[in-house]
Amino acid sequence: MIVSLVVLVVILILSVPAAIIFIPLTLITGKAAPLYYAVCFITRTGFAVAGIRIKVEGRERVPRDQACIFLANHVSNLDPPALIPRIPGRTSGFAKRGVFKLPVFGYCLKLGQFIPVDRTGDAATAQASVAAARHILATGLHITTFVEGTRSKDGRMLPFKKGPFYLAKETGGLCVPVSISGTETLMAKGSMKIKPGKVRIVFHEPLNPADFATREELSAAVRKAIASGLPEWMRG
């Protein structure tokens, strides 16, 4: 737990001046990019302090100057902070509604146009989240989502949720499958303990939703791409 405590202290020390400077700046200018990149810097610093090394492959495959939908597997709470700072450009994404109630951090998510979601399974709520994501894509921001909807307990891929593929077919946004491995051993589900080690993130070739007749076909293609970048045991 010592590593986890040191990381927490470092993040708190950096977050206070960042919040004091960049939250008012965002409110004054209406531009969240400086706040977004400040948070990315703090996150990268936290990973470095924790002794976590991240190897990124395939980032050159991500189209420039085009909003994309990034679809990743999910095995650890470390996945979002590992992935988001490595995405070229700025991304929004989905976060549990309860996270938005956290002091400062939740407000930063709101300023960064992240989308609150519930796990109620309510169709109207899901449609509202998709509508919000559609609007964000139209502004030129990426959308990042973890397609299993929750973290895998053992690292193996779970069934995918339908929402991201509904969004892709509705908007026509290019889908970039992303494979994440290594985080499952550095911070397991249900644990707050962070361990040093290596993480591998692979960006795959974008998929055009128009090339697939159904959401199910698109989902299968994304699953195949993500699996190709994972160790065999994680492919499910």
Q: Which structural domains are found in the chain, ordered by start?
A: 53-234 (3.40.1130.10)
Model pTM above 0.75 = yes
Distance of alpha carbon 112 from alpha carbon 105, whole angstroms: 10
First-to-last C-alpha distance (Å) of the chain:
31
Instruction: Tell me if 19 sits within 8 A of 104, measured CB to CB.
Output: yes
Residue with tokens 């965002």: 26
The DSSP output letter for 207 is B
pLDDT tens string 70-102: 999 999 999 999 999 999 999 999 888 888 888
Q: What is the mean pLDDT of the chain?
A: 92
Distance of alpha carbon 71 from alpha carbon 144, whole angstroms: 6
pLDDT tens string 194-211: 999 999 999 999 999 999
Please determine, for residue 128, whether its predicted confidence score (pLDDT) is greater than 70: yes
Return the pLDDT at 5: 86
- Residue 123 — pLDDT band, cuts 50, 70, 90? low
Instruction: Tell me if 64 sits within 8 A of 81, measured CB to CB.
Output: no
pLDDT tens string 135-165: 999 999 999 999 998 999 999 999 999 989 9
Residue 72 bridge partners (DSSP): 146, 178
Instruction: Tell me if 142 sits within 8 A of 69, measured CB to CB.
Output: yes
Could you tell me the strand order of the sheet in which 197-203 lies? 52-57, 197-203, 174-181, 68-72, 142-146, 91-96, 115-117
Tokens of 90: 């700025």
Q: How far is CA 170 from CA 30, 125, 133, 135, 163, in A?
A: 28, 17, 11, 12, 10
Tokens of 175: 């889908």
Distance of alpha carbon 62 from alpha carbon 56, whole angstroms: 12
Please determine, for residue 219, whether its predicted confidence score (pLDDT) is greater than 90: yes
Closest CA to 160 of 77, 106, 216: 216
Query: Is 179 exposed, middle or buried (CB count within 10 Å of its CB: 0-12, 13-18, 19+)?
Result: buried
